[in-house]
Structure 1
Amino acid sequence: MRKLVLENRNTAAEKYLDTMPCTRGECEILRKWDRRNDIGSVGAVLFDRWFAAGGTEQAFDEVVRELGPKIHQRLGEIQYVVRDGRKIPLHGGPPSSGVYNLINMDWQRQEVRDGSSFIFAVEYADKACPTAYTLMAPTRPDLYSQKKWRKGALCR
């Protein structure tokens, strides 16, 4: 489960992208896209916005117009927060696209509305004492994009 949450797979793209109507030249971006919402992924924002808008050709045209040249940029260049004057790229995506690493952006204000700020996973490999793993969004800006789990026992 720890891997699944942070692998940033876009399950909506995996399931629907190949059947969605896309005949424009800009569709090549989505054909080359890795179907992930990693900070280096090109096409993630285009798909997420298009899918949320209904996935029609008309919706595609509107999203392409709205995003303009940003459709060619990596996710981390578009989806970020600013802390202490620094842009911090964010991996993850909206729940509407089936991305388990949740990031909901307010695109007008370039702010995160909500997202995966605390994740808790429990492993029951040892029946006597399960192992807990936690991941929290840190307060230090230089640590935002890291995926570091803290491990601990739930009993002594």
Structure 2
Amino acid sequence: MIRTATPADIPVIRALIRELAEYEKAPQEARATEEQLHEALFGEHPAAFAHLAVDESTGEAVGCAMWFLSFSTWRGARGIYLEDLYVRPTARGRGHGRALLAELARICVERGYERLEWSVLDWNRPAIGFYDSLGARPKDEWTVYRLTDGPLAELGGQGGPGGSDR
């Protein structure tokens, strides 16, 4: 079962994010607090959205999709950027990941959004195989760049020390 997250889900969302960070070998990077997540998802101007995969037999959240709206200047249309997709290892292989992606695809189709995009670590072969099986294709000609922490502050005129790149 897939459902939209509620404010009561913030602790489990934070736990799933931390589990994903551990899987991606960067647990120190998962610094978001419950307060930050609440503001981002349910504040006056939400920056992101979340859906949970729930095990129907236990009622336990076993996966999460965190996403936000994007915009294509070339297509002149909105899209969804999937920031995180995570299913607990004990629940993998039961269709939860596919169901989460299908819900986001459904939202795209229903609202006239023209893209559903995400990034995957190049070493995550199980995820790449899963995405390939859905018909998703990598954008090999693009390289992701990111400014954070010190370099972001420096470019923005605020100075500051260097830091992580997550």
Relative to the length of structure 2, the TM-score reads 0.28
TM-score by length of 1: 0.29
Relative contact order, CA 8 A, sep 6+: which one is greater? 1
